Amino acid sequence: MKILKGTLVGGIVFFLLGWLVYGMLLADFMASNYNQCPNRPQAEMIWWSMILSNIIYGYFLTMILKWNGVKSLIDGLKTSAMVGLLYAAIIDLSFYAMTTMFNNIGALIVDLIVSTVLTAIMGIAIVLVWGKEK
């Protein structure tokens, strides 16, 4: 039950934070620092795929937290932040090398920071929903 709760809460939290941060707060920054050519207009987004990717990320982080025996919020924060940083670095650095997605290195660094923070918050939410050990 912990895995299911963590997966769903983690996926939902990451989806909502992504919408808030990338879709609202950083929208202008992204428009001027990221190549917009490959992006679908919002009306054409494939929502089932977006939702599924967030649920899978929730499961991925939940399993890492479980395998590491994370029980405290601080351990959840540290582990999740490291996972977020490493995961974003893998994706962002490969995109920077092979695509024109990032207009400059500053955009890549902002994405690394934001992804790390969002994943850390997702990890805290997962640990919180687990509650105390019985």
Amino acid at 128: L
Name the domain count of the chain.
Answer: 1
Distance CA 40, CA 93 (A): 22
Read off the pLDDT of residues 60-82 as tens digits, 9 standing for 90 and up.
Answer: 999 999 999 999 999 999 999 99
Dihedral angle of Cα 123, 76, 24, 7, to the nearest 10 degrees: 0
| Structural domain boundaries, residue 116 | 2-38+47-130
- Section 16-32 average pLDDT: 93
Cβ neighbours, 10 Å, residue 71: 13
Chain mean pLDDT for the chain: 93
H helices of 19-72, in order, are 27-33, 47-67
3-state secondary structure of 34: strand
β-partners of residue 34 are 102
**pLDDT value at 40 more than 60:** yes
How confident is the model at residue 38, as a pLDDT? 79
Read off the pLDDT of residues 94-134 as tens digits, 9 standing for 90 and up.
Answer: 999 999 999 999 999 999 999 999 999 999 999 999 875 55
Contacts for 112 with CB less than 8 Å, ≥ 6 apart: 85, 88, 89, 92
Instruction: Report the run of H or E that residue 69 belongs to, with start and end.
Output: none
